Amino acid sequence: MDFKLLNETVERVIESTEEFKTEGNVATYIPELANVDENNFGLAIVTVDGKTILKGDTELRFSMQSISKVISLIMALEDNGTDYVFERIGCECSPYAFNHVNTITTKAANPFVNAGAISTTAMIKGRDKEEKFQRFMDRIKKLSGDQGVTFLEKVYNSEMETTDTNRALFYILRSKGIFDLEMDDVLNRYVAGCSVGVNVVNLAKIAAVLANGGKCLETGDQLVEEDYVKITLAQMFTSGMYEESGKYQMTIGFPLKSGVSGGIMGVVPGKFGICTYSPRLDATGNSLRGIKVLEGLSKELGLSLFA
């Protein structure tokens, strides 16, 4: 991919989406998420050959929210294998909102609705809940090149005060025998995972590892098994944008995962990882300007996997 062309196109597309800067609303159901500058925008691209494009507020730290579900899935697979995971979680897109009770039948619809991520969180191994969460943090640091990944306690406390829907999902899943663990182990770790603070560069780096078949960009070491990369990207493709995943696969056309704090992480296999941050969301909970930027880039550069 021509780096100069990529850089110029990014600049042009960001400019052309200025008009969406004030559209949409920040999430308020987790009160602390409303404590941001609503018009912030940041973008990072990391190519598989190690080049970087940074635009806007790339230092700004925000909570991963649902983007953390990608890491929980990878770890659930690594700790238990594919069969174990998909015997207990479905692999189809859900037409329901990410925290809707109908996302559970006999099991969660897919790993990227809340019920699915509560399930993968339960599958992460460790001696106790502290060790399980430490392993989760370490995995994010390793994949993202560390650089300031941190735990956002205020976001965590804020969600813990308002997360009864997720508590309900936890109990439904446990009643169906998906796991047999205590609330303060699984649910608290799920919310803690959503509260990991990153910037767009951290997430673009994780995406770049996935774009590179799971291999470290610098050393070539296999950081994520190739089979698990394929599974993760397939799920990001079919369910990464909640109940509107199909819609954006028609206009963007590569694996994506969004979070309600305003991040969208994207993987263009063999080419680059990308992350946009813009906290104003559409009605589904996806970053409004982030989508516009990704749509523009995909169109101008022919990035759809079906192009």
Active-site positions?
66, 69, 190, 242, 260
239 makes contact with ligand GLN (CB under 6 A): no
Determine which residue in the list 42, 90, 145, 285 makes contact with ligand GLN, applying CB under 6 A. Answer: 285
260 makes contact with ligand GLN (CB under 6 A): yes
What count of residues does the chain have? 307
99 makes contact with ligand GLN (CB under 6 A): yes
Distance CA 26, CA 45 (A): 24
- Which SS3 state, helix, strand or coil, does residue 47 take? strand
CB 74 to ligand GLN: min, Å:
17
119 makes contact with ligand GLN (CB under 6 A): no
Q: Which is nearer to ligand GLN, 242 or 272 (CB)?
A: 242
CB 299 to ligand GLN: min, Å:
26
Footprint (CB under 6 A) of ligand GLN, residues 183-202: 194
256-258/263-268 β-pairing: antiparallel
Interacting residues of 86 by C-beta distance below 8 A, sequence separation 6+: none
212 makes contact with ligand GLN (CB under 6 A): no
Determine which residue in the list 32, 57, 159, 244 makes contact with ligand GLN, applying CB under 6 A. Answer: 159
Q: Which is nearer to ligand GLN, 294 or 303 (CB)?
A: 294
Q: Where are the beta strands (DSSP E) in 3-138?
A: 42-47, 52-56, 62-63
Determine which residue in the list 259, 266, 273, 296 makes contact with ligand GLN, applying CB under 6 A. Answer: 259
Q: By CB under 6 A, how many residues form the interface with ligand GLN?
A: 11
Q: Which is nearer to ligand GLN, 145 or 193 (CB)?
A: 193
Q: Which is nearer to ligand GLN, 21 or 167 (CB)?
A: 167
CB 91 to ligand GLN: min, Å:
18
User: Cα-flanking dihedrals φ and ψ of residue 174, to 5°?
Assistant: -65, -35
Q: Where are the beta strands (DSSP E) in 66-211?
A: 150-151, 196-198
Q: Which is nearer to ligand GLN, 66 or 239 (CB)?
A: 66
114 makes contact with ligand GLN (CB under 6 A): yes
Determine which residue in the list 17, 66, 119, 287 makes contact with ligand GLN, applying CB under 6 A. Answer: 66
98 makes contact with ligand GLN (CB under 6 A): yes
CB 65 to ligand GLN: min, Å:
3
Interacting residues of 52 by C-beta distance below 8 A, sequence separation 6+: 44, 45, 46, 201, 204
Determine which residue in the list 65, 158, 235, 249 makes contact with ligand GLN, applying CB under 6 A. Answer: 65
Question: Could you list the residues that contact ligand GLN (CB under 6 A)?
Answer: 65-66, 98-99, 114, 159, 166, 194, 259-260, 285
